Amino acid sequence: MEKREIEAIVREVLARTAESAQIPGTLSGTGEGNGPGRGYQQGQVGMAQTDSGLVQTSMPLALAVKLIERIEAKAAQWGMRVVTAVSDQAGIPVAVHCMDGAYAGSFDVALNKTYTAIAFQMSTAKLGTLSQPGESLYGIQFTNQGRIVIFGGGEVLKYNGVILGALGVSGGSASQDTDLAAYGKSIFEEVITCL
């Protein structure tokens, strides 16, 4: 599938989504190639074929993996060994990659960063600022069975203003994780159009 075909499909789906009661932020395609449409039924908004029938999805595996690959390449340039996680718009993990030599503890942290970004629809760095003593969300990290992360490395992933999922990066300092996740967020729309 060519870039222009994917862009046309995404625009059409987002337009249909805005007009209907469908779940926002879903992608569709023809089921051909390796792009976001892979495994989808023609004309079905955000649907993927399973053994039991069709299911709605907002973050195709191919998209999550391609984004992670780009982030890992940047991490390697920066001398980092990270765990990168991508979740869908409900906070359910789609893909998690652990670079060789990444900290074992970074696995849960990366996943929880995606959950936090989705749960509060903001970056974990921004939530960290709002949760400082005296701020409006002080103590938020003690909610949600301890899954809330209040330091950088988690970002909401949007396409044309619609939330499709979230990204979590862990393995460096809070500043490094923040920068690497911001990089991932900044290239997300480009990755969609390149599939």
Q: How far is CA 74 from its chain centroid?
A: 17
- Tell me the one-letter amino acid at 51: D
Which pLDDT belongs to residue 30? 36
Report residue 87: phi and psi, to 5°: -120, 165
pTM for this one?
0.76
| Residues in the chain where the model's pLDDT stays below 50 | 19-45
Average pLDDT for the chain: 84
- Give the CA count within 13 Å in the CB-facing half-sphere of 48: 15
Give the C-alpha separation, 73 to 65, whole Å. Answer: 12
Residue 137: count of CB within 10 angstroms of its CB? 16
Q: How far is CA 19 from its chain centroid?
A: 24
Cβ–Cβ under 8 Å, residues 3 and 194 = yes
Which pLDDT belongs to residue 35? 41
Q: State how far the alpha carbon of 56 is from the alpha carbons of 44, 53, 61, 99, 173, in Å.
A: 9, 10, 13, 30, 36
Residues 6+ apart with CB under 8 A from 108: none
Q: Quick one: tokens of 56?
A: 């709605």
Which pLDDT belongs to residue 50? 80
Which pLDDT belongs to residue 53? 82
Give the C-alpha separation, 5 to 16, whole Å. Answer: 17
Which pLDDT belongs to residue 113? 98
Which pLDDT belongs to residue 133? 96
Cβ–Cβ under 8 Å, residues 102 and 75 = no
H-helix segments, 20-155: 61-77, 106-120, 124-130
